[in-house]
C-alpha cells in the first residue's frame, strides 16, 4: 500500500472519529427546565447562568465554572444553573475539561481562567450567558427576556467534579 493511500485512510479514520465523538459529545443529562423562574431569597442575589446548545461548537469539551474559587456548575451545551449568593463582588472563572479529541492538548494547557467579575445586589436577579471565544470562554450579562428564552431549552447542570 502506498504512503499516500495510508495517509488518506488515516485521515478518514480521524475524520470518522471526530464525527462520532461530536455526535455523542458531552451533553447535559440533567433534568429539563421546570418552567418556573425563581426570585432571589431574603438578603440574597440570584444568578442564572446558561450556555445555549450550539451544535458543533466546542461540544467535545466542558468546563467547571467557579464563583469566588468555589465550583458551582458544569458547563456544556444546553446547560443552566441557578446560583444564589450573598451580595457583593463575585469573580467567575472556568476550567476546561477535555473531551476525547482535545484531551492531550487540554491536559497540557488547562488552567483556571477568569471570565467575569460581577457586583451583585440583594433582591436582584442576574442573567449570564457562557460563551466560547477564541482561546477561552467568557460570561456576558444578558437581558432577562433573551436569557429566559434560552434557559427554557436547557437542562440543569450543577457541579459534580472539582479541580
User: What's 81's domain CATH number?
Assistant: 2.60.40
Q: Considering its fold, how many domains does the chain have in total?
A: 1
Question: What count of other Cβ atoms lies within 10 Å of the Cβ of residue 114?
Answer: 14
Closest CA to 157 of 46, 63, 81, 52: 81
142, pLDDT greater than 50: yes
For residue 92, is pLDDT > 70? yes
Asked, for residue 21, whether it belongs to a domain, the answer is: no
Residue 77 falls inside a structural domain:
yes
Q: In this structure, is residue 20 part of a structural domain?
A: no
Dihedrals phi, psi of 42, to nearest 5 degrees: -55, 120
More confidently predicted of 134 and 106:
134
Lowest mean pLDDT among 13-27, 61-75, 137-151: 13-27
Higher pLDDT, 32 or 3: 32
CA-wise closest residue to 99 among 35, 6, 21: 21
For 159, phi then psi, to 5°, come to -75, 140
Provide the 3-class DSSP secondary structure of residue 125.
Answer: strand
* Domain range enclosing 38: 27-156
Amino acid at each position: 500500500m502506498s504512503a499516500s493511500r495510508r495517509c488518506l485512510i488515516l485521515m478518514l479514520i480521524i475524520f470518522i472519529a471526530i464525527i462520532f465523538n461530536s455526535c455523542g459529545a458531552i451533553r447535559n443529562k440533567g433534568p429539563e427546565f421546570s418552567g418556573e423562574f425563581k426570585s432571589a431569597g431574603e438578603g440574597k442575589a440570584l444568578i442564572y447562568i446558561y450556555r445555549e446548545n450550539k451544535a458543533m461548537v466546542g461540544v467535545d469539551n466542558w468546563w467547571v465554572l467557579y464563583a469566588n474559587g468555589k465550583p458551582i456548575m458544569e458547563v456544556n451545551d444546553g446547560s443552566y444553573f441557578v446560583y444564589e449568593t450573598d451580595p457583593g463582588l463575585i469573580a467567575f472563572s472556568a476550567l476546561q475539561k477535555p473531551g476525547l479529541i482535545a484531551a492531550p492538548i487540554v491536559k497540557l494547557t488547562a488552567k483556571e481562567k477568569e471570565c467575569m467579575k460581577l457586583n451583585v445586589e440583594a433582591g436582584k436577579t442576574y442573567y449570564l450567558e457562557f460563551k466560547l471565544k477564541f482561546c477561552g470562554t467568557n460570561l456576558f450579562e444578558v437581558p432577562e427576556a433573551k436569557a429566559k428564552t434560552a434557559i427554557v431549552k436547557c437542562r440543569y447542570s450543577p457541579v459534580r467534579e472539582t479541580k
